[in-house]
């Protein structure tokens, strides 16, 4: 039997098969950012910069100075500071390969700040206290991503180190309120507050709660059972699992406040008392009017709602006494102007915490092996969640935090004559007389440096084309004023055209008058857009 001839098949299919197999072995890079991260572009970045500047200036008014720590740090630092059994340490840290000692991408800032201040000696010299610092940057946790929860996220944090009085807790909380108020978000969040008490009270409560949970062990989630076995019983309190919530909703659940000793009770009552003194709050549904002159005045226009949340424990081990979170109110607190319907917040219940922190008096002692006892209190704000809230607020109420966008002005060399038009694509500027190009450069330079500072963005497009192409560019960039530099006009008395894009008014002016004419056109154009 004649053998079949596969030559044609081989010739056509073989190269395709080879390409397929090699693509499988060596896949091209994906253009998606890694899960839980995102790329951000100019408009977003500009808003972020503005947001960060607002936070910095607000906090620096409290005499707080900036600190920067590395984005990766020793694994042992976080193991010790946050607790080896916490979710963050046991599951969520990103380790860097082959490093000795082991390093991880920082999951939070408090431990790194403590390490830095201990290293620098600030925290060890009482005469340098109080030391109040703020930081801002990216942090990393391998969490299940969803809206408002990312694997790379930005925090702005404040740490008041060497600050051991209950009044420091109040100051710290008021700083948090201050920044939220400055951002226009204060009416949409409430302060949830609890006290984890001191070591003695906490140990007593852990024992009481573990004992109480014993009969319900089988009804709890596996995670909670493991946590109890690891001595981390407090985390059962803030578990979101329905089976855990059902057990914890029982009326006879022991309350943390019942285990406070006298010192812990006194600390908490003084914090709450002073917070009431300075504002009007709704505490557990009951409205409490602030007493005292200063009190009513301070927060009267922006009342803060406070709830004593007995189940608030925070997920990191270093806290004692006051723990707090600013949480988006259930309804999102906002009304949609158009349909007047109360809207749920963009942030789900679990991602509703926009700023959180508390007191941590043992951290410096734990990190220094008992050598330095430095009380501290602080918080961190989630920038990504704040940005989402601001976006929603802007959509619903048209209130905007963002300043007016700079005016865009384009200075465009034009090659009208066929001979001068350079060839599109990667054509560059060949063929256009040097005089046109250099005049455009000089006008651009003059406009950027004429003293209008941040208010003007001066664009150019060097892929010189015909007038139509350049106007297309100006429209795409939403330029308000366009300066057209063409050879003919330059030849006839050194002139260029200045065009107001909104009114189509176009005037021919000498090069030396361009700045003045543009300034007049901009001032007449009125209503600038916001970012
Ligand atoms: P934290 O509660 O883990 O506390 O984080 C503080 C805030 O950072 C959260 O309330 C949230 O707004 C934001 N955040 C946390 N994880 C994510 C995430 N995966 N995606 C987006 N945003 C997130 C701390 O980090 C403590 N160091 C705070 C502190 C400072 N305590 C004392 N001083």
- As a whole number of angstroms, the distance between CA 443 and CA 448 comes to 9
pLDDT tens digits along 154-207: 999 999 999 999 999 999 999 999 999 999 998 899 999 999 999 999 999 999
What spacing in Å lies between the alpha carbon of 202 and ligand 1's midpoint?
23
DSSP symbol at 220? S
Q: Which of 273, 289, 292, 112 is nearest to 193 (CA)?
A: 273
What's this model's pTM, rounded to 2 decimal places? 0.87
Cα 273 to ligand 1 centre (Å): 26
User: Which two tokens mark 56?
Assistant: 């910095």
Atom of ligand 1 nearest to the CA of 159: 33
Q: Could you say which residues of the chain have pLDDT below 50?
A: 280, 285-297, 332-341, 418-428
Q: What's the CA-to-centroid distance between 108 and ligand 1, angstroms?
A: 7
Could you please report the per-residue DSSP string of 51-118? HHHHHHHHHHTTT-EE----SEEEHHHHHHHH-TTSHIIIII--BPTT-SS-EEE-S-SHHHHHHHHH
Instruction: Ligand 1, residue 150: give the atom nearest the CA.
Output: 20
Nearest-CA residue for atom 15 of ligand 1: 382
Return the pLDDT at 526: 60
CB 210 within 8 A of CB 228: yes
Residue with CA nearest ligand 1 atom 17: 149
Q: What is the pLDDT of residues 474-514, one digit of tens each?
A: 999 999 999 999 988 898 889 999 999 999 999 999 999 99
How far does the centroid of ligand 1 lie from the alpha carbon of residue 138, in Å?
11
Q: Best of 37, 171, 357, 363 to mutate for ligand 1, by most ligand atoms within 8 A of CB?
A: 357
**Which pLDDT value is given to residue 302?**
67
How far from the centroid of its chain's Cα atoms is residue 352's Cα? 14
pLDDT on residue 531: 57
Task: Supply the pLDDT for residue 9.
Answer: 58
Pocket of ligand 1 (CB under 6 A): 108-110, 141, 143, 148-150, 153, 155, 157, 159, 353-358, 360, 378-380, 382, 384-385
What lies within 8 Å, CB to CB, of 343 at 6+ separation is 331, 332, 334, 335, 336, 396
Tokens of 176: 């948090």
Pocket mutation for ligand 1, best pick of 86, 94, 105, 108 (most atoms within 8 Å of C-beta): 108
How high is the pLDDT of residue 43?
86
d(CA 177, CA 185): 9
**Pair type for strands 152-161 and 376-382:** antiparallel
If you measure from the C-alpha of residue 107 to the centroid of ligand 1, how many angstroms do you get, rounded to a whole number? 9
Supply the pLDDT for residue 85: 86
Query: Which residue lies with its CA nearest to atom 31 of ligand 1?
Result: 357
Angle, in degrees to the nearest 10, between helices 110-120 and 75-82 = 110
Reference 422, options 468, 460, 464; nearest CA is 464
CA distances (Å), origin 158, targets 44, 60, 173: 24, 10, 10
């Amino acid at each position: 039997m004649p053998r079949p001839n596969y030559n044609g098949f081989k010739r056509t299919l073989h190269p395709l098969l080879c390409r397929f197999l090699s693509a499988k072995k060596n896949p091209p890079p994906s253009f998606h950012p890694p899960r839980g991260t995102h790329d951000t572009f100019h408009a977003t970045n500009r808003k972020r910069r503005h947001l960060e500047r607002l936070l910095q200036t607000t906090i620096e008014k409290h005499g707080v100075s900036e600190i920067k720590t590395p984005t990766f740090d020793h694994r042992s630092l976080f193991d010790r500071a946050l607790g080896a059994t916490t979710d963050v340490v046991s599951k969520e840290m990103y380790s860097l390969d082959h490093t000795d000692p082991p390093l991880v991408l920082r999951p939070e800032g408090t431990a790194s700040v403590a390490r830095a201040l201990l290293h620098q000696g600030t925290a060890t010299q009482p005469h340098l206290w109080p030391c109040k610092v703020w930081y801002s940057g990216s942090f990393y946790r391998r969490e299940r991503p969803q809206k408002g929860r990312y694997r790379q996220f930005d925090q702005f944090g404040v740490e008041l180190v060497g600050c051991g009085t209950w009044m420091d807790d109040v100051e710290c909380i008021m700083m948090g309120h201050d920044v939220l108020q400055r951002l226009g978000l204060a009416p949409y969040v409430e302060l949830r507050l609890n006290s984890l008490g001191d070591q003695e009270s906490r140990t007593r409560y852990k024992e009481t709660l573990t004992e109480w949970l014993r009969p319900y062990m089988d009804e709890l989630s596996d995670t909670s059972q493991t946590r109890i076995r690891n001595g981390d019983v407090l985390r059962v309190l803030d578990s979101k699992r329905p089976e855990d919530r059902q057990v914890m909703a029982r009326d006879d659940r022991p309350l943390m406040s019942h285990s406070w000793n006298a010192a812990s009770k006194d600390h908490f009552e003084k914090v709450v008392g002073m917070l009431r003194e300075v504002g009007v709050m709704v505490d557990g549904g009951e409205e409490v009017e602030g007493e005292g002159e200063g009190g009513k005045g301070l927060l009267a226009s922006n009342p803060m709602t406070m709830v004593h949340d007995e189940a608030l424990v925070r997920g990191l081990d270093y806290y004692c006494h006051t723990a707090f979170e600013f949480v988006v109110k259930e309804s999102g607190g906002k009304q949609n102007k158009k349909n007047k319907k109360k809207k749920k917040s963009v942030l789900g219940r679990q991602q509703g915490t926009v700023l959180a922190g508390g007191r941590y008096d043992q951290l410096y002692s734990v990190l220094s092996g008992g050598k330095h006892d430095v009380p501290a209190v602080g918080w961190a704000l989630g920038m990504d969640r704040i940005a989402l809230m601001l976006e929603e607020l802007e959509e619903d109420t048209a209130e905007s935090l963002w300043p007016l966008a700079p005016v865009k002005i384009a200075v465009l060399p034009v090659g009208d004559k066929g001979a001068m038009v350079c060839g599109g694509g990667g054509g560059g500027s060949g063929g256009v007389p040097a005089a046109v190009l250099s005049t455009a450069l000089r006008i651009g330079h003059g406009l950027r440096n004429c003293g209008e500072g941040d208010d003007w963005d001066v664009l150019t497009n060097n892929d010189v084309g015909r007038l139509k192409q350049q106007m297309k560019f100006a429209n795409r960039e939403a330029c308000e004023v366009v300066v057209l530099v063409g050879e003919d006009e330059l030849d006839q008395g050194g002139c260029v055209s200045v065009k107001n894009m909104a009114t189509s008014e176009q005037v021919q002016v000498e090069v030396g008058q361009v700045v003045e004419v543009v300034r007049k056109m901009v001032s007449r154009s009125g209503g600038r857009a916001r970012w």
